[in-house]
Structure formats: structure tokens, C-alpha cells
Amino acid sequence: SDVSIILHPDYRIGTVDRRIFGSFVEHLGRCVYTGIYEPGHATADAHGFRRDVADLTRELGVTVVRYPGGNFVSNYVWEDAVGPVEHRKPFLDLAWRTVEPNTIGTDEFLQYCEREGLEPMMAVNLGTRGVDAAAALVEYCNGQAGTRWADLRIANGREEPYGVTLWCLGNEMDGPWQIGHKDAHTYGRLAADAGKAMKLVDPTIELVACGSSSMYMDTFGEWERTVLSYTYDIVDHISMHAYYEELNGDRASFLGSATAMDRFVERVVASADAVGAQKRSDKRITLSFDEWNVWYLESRFGDATDLPIQRDAPRIIEDRYSGLDAVVVGDLMATLLNHADRIAVGCLAQLVNVIAPIMTEPGGDAWRQTTFHPFATTAHLARGEALQLKVDAPTFATERHGGVPAVTAAATVDPDTGALALFVTNRTDAEQTVTLRHPGARAHLEGGRAVLADHDGARETQKAAEAYGMVDALPITHGDGTITLTLAPESWTAFHGS
């Protein structure tokens, strides 16, 4: 065969941070209202949250949930969405031009996370607001009794601090579409000041500075360098956002998306480490890949400024996914694993209805999209240490990314149980035979499960999406120090073993 993978359980990249299996809930469209929350729904719990959606979230294996935005956060007044619900006033969110009823706010969301065993990742508004509101929100969430904002939380019925660890210093502040967007110097200074104040309220928190909103921004690289030159000592992570789509029928480039993601990670690491080098700092900034997914942004969505003003949880960005999209999502997840030494947080954007693995109908069903399967499988199987594989595969040419490997792979081993997991993507339209060599180490794989690209119907109806699932991988054979795998055309396969 043309493809070979060498695997040794002792050659490791780093420990997989469970926080890379995160997702994202924004006040956007139907992610919150009729997504996670729908009082009166047949499955609603005592708090009005949909049990069917919470059960699917658990099955998906989500660890962290970023909240409340996204672009939304950049004009959000969090104080208006705490306290008695009957006193809260609707507000006009300018990011999505939607009337936000403020029924769900910080307390409702954080208590939902607690009940469901999810770790919240909060974002503060550095678009229209600043140091004051950011530090006050940290105090509201994490402060002890005896000061103004902590006491407000207690007056609102919550005695115990929530202990929120992860905090984003704004969202996509380089984007011209962002409410209150800033140049790198202005944002860098503000993020450093807000971050300092937030850590003075609670020194145990971890801070994420905004990186570029995409690798394709003109300011990419220079933005990271400038922002980190102000914030290096105060922040822990820098954010990355990336969305991939098939443009103009260019299937090859779309199938190579994870190579673009891989290069994006390497470039942000290089930019961050360059700042560290100049500062002669031993500290390493880690990555918060807090928005990633397939999103038909250019080809189907366009521009939020074209949206009419809407109310009552409008349908916005409700992408439906194909089998091909699922294969790409699997490959993107493997890329996160292959950077386990630097990626601390990852968030599939978003969780429900909005570019999401879970869909709902108001008053009706909740169901899995195609992309649910590779995420759930990876979150379930990838445990412990990410392995440094050596993958040798031919490359093929793409218009957007140049040459990309035909086959990619990632693997993990759990030091406690010895469980091995291997994730392999075949980006070509031909079957591929892969020789997996494990010299000097024992390795046994069970039959794998795969997602296949050839199910475009899954995009069309709920029924077709529900019929889409993982299939048994093609048979594998064990030899002496080798395992031979056969990969279906355009597929993503997960194997587990020991």
C-alpha cells in the first residue's frame, strides 16, 4: 500500500485536555430559545430546559460550553439579564438584529451547566463596555459575600460562588462586523487592563485573549503579535476561530480543510512563541480554538447586516450537514488531537440549531446531524495521551491549500487502561490500504466504525439526517508487528483497541 503509519505508545505529543471537546451556546437564532431552553416543551425540566437536548448534549460528550457569544457578547449588558425575570427588559441585539428577551441570563445558564455537568466558559463584552463591567461580572460569578456584585448574586438567590475558570476577553475584536471592533493596539491595551482587573477579583481564573477572527484576515499574525505584546503576562490562552465550507464545488480543497487548520495552529503557535522569545519568557501561551466547524458562511449566509430585525427566536444560520461535512469534522477533530501539546480548549460552534450537531423543532423533536457522530465518537474514545504518529501518505493538489496528504491520522492511548484509539481520514475518492506498523510494541485494534461522505440526502430532511449513522469499517488484518487497514473512499474511521 502507499500509506503507512508508524505508531508507538511511548512517542507522545501531550496529554489531551478534555476541554477540547467543548461547544458553544450563543444568544443567536434558536440556540438558546427553543434550543436548550423551551418551557412548555414535552421534555422541559422544572427550569424550562429541554431534557431531550440535554440528553443529546451528554451523548455528544461535550465538556465545556462557551457563552453568551460570539458577536452577541460585544453589545451585551449582563446586568440586564440577572435578578427577577419579570423585571428584565428585552434588548435589541445589534449583532444579529434580534430582540433578546433576557429570560435566560448568567444565573440560568451557569445553573444549567452545573445540573448537566458542563464547564462554562464565559465571555465578557469588550466591544461596547470595558474593565468595569468585566471585573463586575467576575465578582458576580465568583466573588464571596460582602461586596456589591457578589451580594447581588446572593440577593438573586445564589449563595455559593459559581467558580467559573475560563474567561474570554471579548470576541473577534479584529472583525469589522464586530460591535465596537478595535485595532490591535487599542484592543491589546484594553484586554490587558480588563484581564488584570479580572484576575485581581479572582486570581484562579484563566484568560483568553482574542486572536484573529480567521487565518484569512489581512491583519492575521500582526494582530496576534501586537495583542500578545500587551497581554502576554496576564493571559493564558489566545483564541482561534475557523469555519470551513465547500466553495464553488471545490471538493478537494474542502476535503483538505484540516490541513489548513493544522497550518493555522502552527502559525498561531509561532506568533505566540515569537512574542515569548522577545520577552525572554519561559511562559507558553496555549490555544483556545473556541470556534470551529463546517459553516456555509460565504455560500449560504452572507452578512448579518442584511438581516431584518426579528423577535421570538428566529431561524438564523441553521445549516444542514451532509456526509461529506461529517468526514471533514472528523478530520478537524483529529487535528485538535495532533496539537494536544498546545491546544487547551476547543469549541465546536455551536451546540444547538445554529451550525450545530443537534437540531430541534419548537414543540417537537431533537435530533442528531451527521456531524454529531465523529464528534461524539472522538470525545468518547480519545483519552489520555495523544500519540506522535508518523504518517507517510501521497499528497494531492488543491486550489486553496496546495498539496495536502491523502490520508491523515491521530491516535491516543490511555495510560490508566491501556486503551488505544486511532482516527483515520481518507480524503480521496478511492479505497486506501494503510499499513500500520507498531515496531517493538504490542497493538491490537478492534473493527472500526466510519462516517462516509456519500449521503447528501442527510442535508435535506430530519428523517434523512436521522437515518444517517456510522457504519462498520472495512475489515482489518493483524500481522506480525503490523495491522492492515482498508479505508472506504472519502471516509473518517475510528478504531479502538489496546
Footprint of ligand AHR on residues 363-422 (CB under 6 A)? none
Q: Is 224 a catalytic residue?
A: no
What string marks each residue from 300 to 339 as x (binds ligand AHR by CB under 6 A) or -? ----------------------------------------
Q: Residue holding cell 438567590? A: 157
Point out which span in 29-37, 68-76, 98-106, 151-159 binds ligand AHR (CB under 6 A).
Answer: 68-76
The pairing of strands 358-360 and 366-368 is: antiparallel
Question: Residues of 242-259 as b/e, b for ≥16 C-beta within 10 angstroms?
Answer: bbbbbeeeeebbbbbbbb
Active-site residue among 172, 206, 224, 490? Answer: 172
Selected binder of ligand AHR within 349, 413, 420, 465 (CB under 6 A): 349
Say whether residue 71 binds ligand AHR (CB under 6 A). Answer: yes
Q: How far is the CB of 24 from ligand AHR (least distance, A)?
A: 7
| Of 15-23, 69-77, 358-366, 398-406: span binding ligand AHR (CB under 6 A) | 69-77
- What phi and psi values does residue 433 have, to the nearest 5 degrees? -100, 130
Separation between Cα atoms, residue 72 and residue 122, nearest integer Å = 12
What cell does 67 get? 457563552
Closer residue to ligand AHR, CB minimum distance, 139 or 291: 291
The residue number whose beta carbon is nearest to ligand AHR equals 70
123 versus 406: smaller Cβ distance to ligand AHR? 123
Q: Is 291 a catalytic residue?
A: yes
Q: Does 70 bind ligand AHR (CB under 6 A)?
A: yes
Is 171 a binder of ligand AHR (CB under 6 A)? yes
Site for ligand AHR contains 75 (CB under 6 A)? no
Span from 49-57, 67-75, 200-208, 402-410 in contact with ligand AHR (CB under 6 A)? 67-75
Which of these segments, 65-73, 195-203, 219-227, 398-406, binds ligand AHR (CB under 6 A)? 65-73
Q: What is the dihedral of CA 132, 134, 140, 146, to 10 degrees?
A: -40
**Residue 172 engages ligand AHR in binding (rule: CB under 6 A):** yes
Q: How far is CA 330 from CA 263, 293, 359, 426, in A?
A: 17, 10, 19, 11
Closest CA to 491 of 430, 434, 437: 430
Least separation in angstroms between residue 378's CB and ligand AHR is 20
**Distance (Å, whole) CA 398 – CA 388:** 26
Q: How far is CA 126 from CA 97, 187, 189, 218, 305, in A?
A: 19, 8, 11, 22, 20
26 makes contact with ligand AHR (CB under 6 A): yes
**Nearest to 67, CA basis, from 37, 43, 97:** 37
Of 26, 100, 119, 291, the catalytic one is: 291
Q: What is the DSSP string of 404-461?
A: EESEEEEEEE-TTT--EEEEEEE-SSS-EEEEEE-TTS---B---EEEES--GGGGT-
Q: Report the catalytic residues.
A: 172, 291
Q: Catalog residues that contact ligand AHR under the rule CB under 6 A.
A: 26, 69-71, 171-172, 213, 291, 349-350
